[in-house]
Structure 1
């Protein structure tokens, strides 16, 4: 079959992907050797609303490399694909579409009809990312594609499965064990979606902010001596005060203050600790009192050293309040508007003041400390009103001119990553996992090595999170998701059961109402490994593929997903969910900046595939995946590897034009060049196997590039050209055909499309390359004599080429090659490879002689040579050019040396930046040394 001039990736990749599907190439276990060891991977399930981004491209490329490598080595492989139902994201997409179509909103049509619309959308658009992963070349067992809502009530045909049943079973099991409970805690609240969200769904943004300073008058007109000292303990200020001052960026939350806290060591406030002060807002006749307390949280050196404690609206304050028994007063409703429900303000303020005096006031959920004239206002509108009222009363801290002190400063403000609105810490009733009850086995499993996290630096992150774990909020106020399997009777009693019928059986004669909330998607995805393999059933997949072998994931979800899978699977099965967790970095732009839409530097992997092909993108990402590093990606990098794809294509096309075919038996060549390339192939495979075993994807890619481009496509193809017309022709055709076959196989996990196409075009095959055997090469295949001879030839040619380029010798000029010294081995190598050396180095046949004026020296092991260049260049002009180049190199090197010698750079720069700078300096120093050596040679001419 004649090869086309170019590899048409756009056409070929789609066809090859269809061929793989049609052949069932990726079905679990279908191509395993008898009795083979299992290798299983579960895909981090992308959101059903998602499309392929550059992080997905890296994550799935690395998984695919591992899976294809193991499949070709005969392992019983399973790469389990699937999607997450993505509660908030999916509900948002469907609601937006309903609004665009001017349809009634979800509350108007009701829950059941709305969920039907989501299922309809999923059937229509939910598999977008699956097609995009196939474009990338992901070799998942697509026949097993899973979904975290499969089998849920209302699921249409085609969405059968037991994942929903598994999720519900786990909830009931954990509830009955006391691991899951309902309680009131502070959570991240999204006022747009009116639901709790996870930390991962919160995006901190720097925004313009203000810090207001207010006075809290001491109760009953009390005063104290306020004394301020400088850093040396010398008294700097002494005055009588009848207030304590605080600073806040959120004045509206003052209405819910439960205390003012100072550090126990802060002597300024020691006289007033334990007394009451007034909150400076609200009706004067009902001005509320709160205690001044001590806690380790306040920083005595920041601001006034005193902080207001609003436990129901700040996570740090929540900790202070719960430690000190301070009541938590909720101020806002689900839309972040000031509450309009509850008790009247006067009654609420009286209850709060009694609590401040130490009385037990019981449940304060009905207490509403928002004055009537502020009730129903948006929180930002309430802020303006509160500031105006306090300032009007003269209770704002003022400067020397009597102006209120307001510090304008940027602040980090939490926003919902989907809604874009400011997140409100809210005290709400939610369902929680008491993680402290199930966390220890997950810690132990990593400590004792049952699960290994790579790079090891991420183990510290893992342990830090788990050893300081808080209860996990698992309920969401949404309609799309696994509905909480708890029912309530008229008295509020709870009945937890897998079905309503079971719950009703627990409460005969009682009218039951189901909890409207759904489960956090991290709860259901926490069951991903076992849930996709048929658990709780005793399935063949579970017995064969669980625990899974490797999880490839990003560092940002070590806690949200990895740790939770560890906790849940160990609690449910007693086994770790995976043996190795490989954590890759964050793909950054080519300058090292984090990609963001606001910066305009987001790279679309689908565009890169359109422009350069999936193979080029994959090889680029693998080549950049150094362990513990963030890849820096730009289109030029991918374009460079598109050239690599082209190089392999062209080398194969050259072979075809010279009668080379694949599918041949392993040869036993006699010619040095053929023996040498077989040894280089064996060396490359050993490097690739070693690197992939250690998850050093970049080292494997580098070894393949060095062999396939440098050794095979350049040196071997050039060395083989004259052999096609001589006695070694058939031997060379067999060797080149066999070596190309093995090279396609070695490259296949990284560049599956072009290698599959070349495999098809170059020989009669029993199977597709994707399911063919990995090369079985031995170190004994390396022939020391051939290795030594060819490396000598390469060294000499490189030395001549380098010297020509350094001295500015015209490319077309053919130089004499004068042998000034050579041992027997060097002379033998020179004689055996003379045509190759003469053609590639552009020299005349070698002749013995002595160094003379007008010559420059080059060397190879055991030999020295002279190149007469005096008649083809202007030595003075070349020396001048090199002097200028050396001066620039020296200046650049000095700049880098000064940067590395700067203590601030060493302290503040990332280790990766320091290492890159050191590498740049080393390269400059090498270039400078070569330039100076060349200048010295020119001076001696």
Structure 2
């Protein structure tokens, strides 16, 4: 056999795009139930006789179509890709379905900003032309997102890609609206909603970000209109953070149990700056211990005041226009002003009237639009709502029944709290981009028509379509995306994908949208299909910078995934993110973090290159159990352990544990120990031994590549394609045949190959224990070499004292391996401590570095004495620190760290002194 050449340097740009295109062209990402899948025949064979093949379905959290993928998307996509590739290799009927979200507010904002730069607006363009423009922008951004996802290596079925505004999805959205309306779960009402003046639309409660903001508490006098109070006072004091809203006041409230104010309940007040008179009322809402115990009530501009107003039948006065300016309900001089502008003038006017007492700085929670960060205004308007309580009750019952599970489990508490305290959902948006509300109003008779199809006439009076006017609003973006798990599979039609792939298996998403999306998808799935939309809900953390800050444009700390891929390759990005993603924790990275993944890819490449380069003149032979050496059995035992650990991590969505198991196995067990130790066979063995050794090496490498593929898809696929697979498979026997597909089904691409299965027969605790001793001995010798500052190339002379009957007896049998891996020229076996030596203790042995003529004893003694002196200085500093006020003032963990440091220095001194004595 000829040697197989891999390029000397690992360069992912040479093959990542080529491999991805091949995967797509050959249909490798399609579920095996799809006739276009290369595994379809295997699927049919498994299902013959009425058997069921396990499915694994994931729908991608659809990114906003006008966005650009950031590192958060990179993490989310990576985690899905890892687990999807794993289940595909398990033989499950696997589908990862891609798509994008039309993102109503976000997309409309993008287009409106473009129009503003061009000196025009959507109103000037008109609705139809504006929508044409938005579609063009959508297509352009969509192409960018697809390109990014392909560069990441997403193993999604592109032929099944969906869009929340495509024809089929639009039909599903309309069906859901009408069905909920028919079931009495959608209604229209005149209510107080969250309003974004910048976006010009209502927002749901959970689309408002509440942040602590610096502000002021303003104190204002309100004068009595019906004469002084019984105590002779002529005015009362109220405090507010928003003086401009006094123009919409309908009352001032006090607590009915507040003895201070019982006498003035019912009295009238002059509302400053207006010609209106308002009453003093009593309501339990008022906290008598807070402030003055008097609260101005503005029903149209505060949700709590709205409830008070309903209880007392107060007048509701809206003082705002949709753009956030003051309207005609206000005195003329304030009309058209933004709230912040009006506030300044109102304060000056109050001062002039002697009605302004003063102000104080405070920090208070202020709601901001989750899309544009504009301060949200409570605003009275006609909106469409969904009654959420009945839907939430079904979701809670399903969770208690175990229909879905959160990973990590702590998110169940968040889910439970939101469901138990849920409020009705405002679903109408005053936008043009989105699913139009399927409601029409008859201009002739006033009939309201809610229909799945555009009505041709009024069912009540018969007026034609030209007399019907559709509701101008669109639906909240989340109203379409809550249908994502089943709408993408063809619902409401009874499609094959829906019957085979729904409910989906897993949802992988970040914790910051658990309310927006996850909970609503559960409610929609149960309401419209009778089933929870997924079983596993894996909630991962956010990607933050090394300081723990969320990545953002304003901070300039964002990382572009494509930039990392260009620098290191997609595998380096994927492995690093998987390795660092621990359950329940955020991922803290900078650009240098991805060097770790790149180094691992290089290790895989170079180890494979060495093995393939040693095939020159070799003949592959059957790998029989009886022919395996103890070294071979050890590496198979290590491989078996790595397989078990990886599979356990996959099943529990513990990505970092899976990546760590692969890393430890391949880098240390396989490369640093096994591959290095097999050099003895190539150095000392005959032709038969060399053929046997290289055959085992290739078997272990082939299975190792399958083991690592979900985390390192590109580099493992590239190397796998170079392997002499036909000969490896035909020569495979019990030692490594476990999960390989039958040769007639095997296609040769790693993406389709089976994932390794643990084989109990490969476990050997005795061999593992023996090799653990060898590894410990070799590490100790390497440590002594480093401690003494000896040349890494220098051959050492050592002596070993072995405890009779212990696992360390293996040392006598493996001297050639020890000499090779530890750089040793000779090993003496002794029952006592040799003169002029430096010792190290291990499990069942003592190892001694003999200081002979090859080592300069004087230099070594001087080195140790210098280190002793340095450690003694450290001891004195620590002792002084721990005897002073440091112990009283410093945190307990800091004090303990200093004590640990002192103890380590003392042990080090003791050790170095013993070295000097022995020399």
Write the distance in 1 (CA, Å) between the matches of 2:797 and 2:300.
87
The 1:919–1:15 alpha-carbon spacing in structure 2 relative to 1, beyond 3 Å, is: farther
Write the distance in 2 (CA, Å) between the matches of 1:572 and 1:643.
49
The 1:795–1:630 alpha-carbon spacing in structure 2 relative to 1, beyond 3 Å, is: same
| 2:702 counterpart residue number | 741
Shift of 1:386: 1.3
Contact 2:621–2:691 at 8 Å: present in 1 too? Answer: no
| 1:93 counterpart residue number | 110
Of residues 447, 455, 459 in structure 2, which corresponds to 1:493? 447
The 1:561–1:261 alpha-carbon spacing in structure 2 relative to 1, beyond 3 Å, is: same
| 1:394 counterpart residue number | 354
The 1:406–1:617 alpha-carbon spacing in structure 2 relative to 1, beyond 3 Å, is: same
Write the distance in 1 (CA, Å) between the matches of 2:582 and 2:501.
28
SS of the aligned residue for 1:222 comes to coil
Shift of 1:533: 0.8
Q: Which moved more, 1:537-546 or 1:757-766?
A: 757-766
Shift of 1:329: 2.0
SS of the aligned residue for 1:710 comes to helix
Contact 1:224–1:271 at 8 Å: present in 2 too? Answer: yes
Of residues 54, 59, 77 in structure 2, which corresponds to 1:37? 54
Shift of 1:434: 0.8
User: Does structure 1 residue 449 correspond to structure 2 residue 466?
Assistant: no
Within-5 A mapping of 1:162-241: 162-199=168-205, 201-204=207-210, 207-223=213-229, 241=233
Shift of 1:825: 5.5
Query: RMSD between aligned alpha carbons?
Result: 3.2
Write the distance in 2 (CA, Å) between the matches of 1:537 and 1:242.
71
Q: Which moved more, 1:798-807 or 1:870-879?
A: 870-879
Contact 1:806–1:934 at 8 Å: present in 2 too? Answer: no
Within-5 A mapping of 1:769-848: 769-823=750-804, 828-848=809-829
TM-score, length of structure 1 as denominator length: 0.86
Of residues 28, 31, 46 in structure 2, which corresponds to 1:28? 31
Contact 1:259–1:293 at 8 Å: present in 2 too? Answer: no
CA displacement, residues 558-605 of structure 1 (integer Å, 9 cap, x when unaligned): 111111111111111111111111111111112222223333222222
SS of the aligned residue for 1:479 comes to coil
SS of the aligned residue for 1:40 comes to strand
Write the distance in 2 (CA, Å) between the matches of 1:177 and 1:630.
42
Write the distance in 2 (CA, Å) between the matches of 1:530 and 1:4.
46
Write the distance in 2 (CA, Å) between the matches of 1:662 and 1:180.
74
Write the distance in 2 (CA, Å) between the matches of 1:279 and 1:929.
79
Contact 2:225–2:277 at 8 Å: present in 1 too? Answer: no
The 1:48–1:930 alpha-carbon spacing in structure 2 relative to 1, beyond 3 Å, is: farther
Contact 1:808–1:878 at 8 Å: present in 2 too? Answer: no
Of residues 849, 856, 859 in structure 1, which corresponds to 2:841? 859
Write the distance in 2 (CA, Å) between the matches of 1:571 and 1:831.
71
The 1:894–1:494 alpha-carbon spacing in structure 2 relative to 1, beyond 3 Å, is: farther
Of residues 529, 535, 548 in structure 1, which corresponds to 2:491? 535
Write the distance in 1 (CA, Å) between the matches of 2:169 and 2:441.
25
Write the distance in 1 (CA, Å) between the matches of 2:256 and 2:886.
44
Shift of 1:673: 1.5
| 1:362 counterpart residue number | none
User: Does structure 1 residue 119 correspond to structure 2 residue 105?
Assistant: no
Contact 2:878–2:899 at 8 Å: present in 1 too? Answer: no
Contact 1:683–1:779 at 8 Å: present in 2 too? Answer: no
User: Does structure 1 residue 730 correspond to structure 2 residue 730?
Assistant: no
Write the distance in 1 (CA, Å) between the matches of 2:679 and 2:514.
53
Contact 1:664–1:738 at 8 Å: present in 2 too? Answer: no
The 1:895–1:704 alpha-carbon spacing in structure 2 relative to 1, beyond 3 Å, is: farther
Shift of 1:246: 2.3
CA displacement, residues 594-645 of structure 1 (integer Å, 9 cap, x when unaligned): 2233332222222222212111111111112211111111222211221111
User: Does structure 1 residue 137 correspond to structure 2 residue 91?
Assistant: no
Of residues 277, 289, 311 in structure 2, which corresponds to 1:288? 277
The 1:903–1:568 alpha-carbon spacing in structure 2 relative to 1, beyond 3 Å, is: farther
Shift of 1:653: 0.7
The 1:327–1:875 alpha-carbon spacing in structure 2 relative to 1, beyond 3 Å, is: farther
Shift of 1:319: 4.4
User: Does structure 1 residue 681 correspond to structure 2 residue 681?
Assistant: no
Shift of 1:746: 1.1
SS of the aligned residue for 1:126 comes to helix
| 1:712 counterpart residue number | 670
User: Does structure 1 residue 931 correspond to structure 2 residue 908?
Assistant: yes
Within-5 A mapping of 1:510-525: 511-525=467-481
Shift of 1:776: 2.5
| 1:645 counterpart residue number | 601
The 1:925–1:49 alpha-carbon spacing in structure 2 relative to 1, beyond 3 Å, is: farther
Shift of 1:122: 2.5
Of residues 303, 322, 327 in structure 2, which corresponds to 1:339? 327
Within-5 A mapping of 1:390-469: 390-397=350-357, 405-469=358-422
SS of the aligned residue for 1:41 comes to strand
Shift of 1:509: 2.0
Runs of 5+ unmatched residues, structure 1:
152-161, 226-239, 341-367, 398-404, 907-913
Write the distance in 2 (CA, Å) between the matches of 1:666 and 1:893.
62
Shift of 1:54: 1.3
The 1:902–1:412 alpha-carbon spacing in structure 2 relative to 1, beyond 3 Å, is: farther
| 1:580 counterpart residue number | 536
The 1:840–1:923 alpha-carbon spacing in structure 2 relative to 1, beyond 3 Å, is: farther
Contact 2:620–2:695 at 8 Å: present in 1 too? Answer: no
| 1:354 counterpart residue number | none
The 1:291–1:656 alpha-carbon spacing in structure 2 relative to 1, beyond 3 Å, is: same
CA displacement, residues 122-176 of structure 1 (integer Å, 9 cap, x when unaligned): 233323112211111111111100001111xxxxxxxxxx111110011011111
The 1:293–1:75 alpha-carbon spacing in structure 2 relative to 1, beyond 3 Å, is: same
CA displacement, residues 457-477 of structure 1 (integer Å, 9 cap, x when unaligned): 111111111111111010111
CA displacement, residues 195-231 of structure 1 (integer Å, 9 cap, x when unaligned): 1134554445555432211122344233366xxxxxx
CA displacement, residues 27-47 of structure 1 (integer Å, 9 cap, x when unaligned): 122336423211111111111
Write the distance in 2 (CA, Å) between the matches of 1:677 and 1:506.
80
The 1:318–1:556 alpha-carbon spacing in structure 2 relative to 1, beyond 3 Å, is: farther
TM-score, length of structure 2 as denominator length: 0.88
CA displacement, residues 418-472 of structure 1 (integer Å, 9 cap, x when unaligned): 4343322212111100111221011111122111112111111111111111110
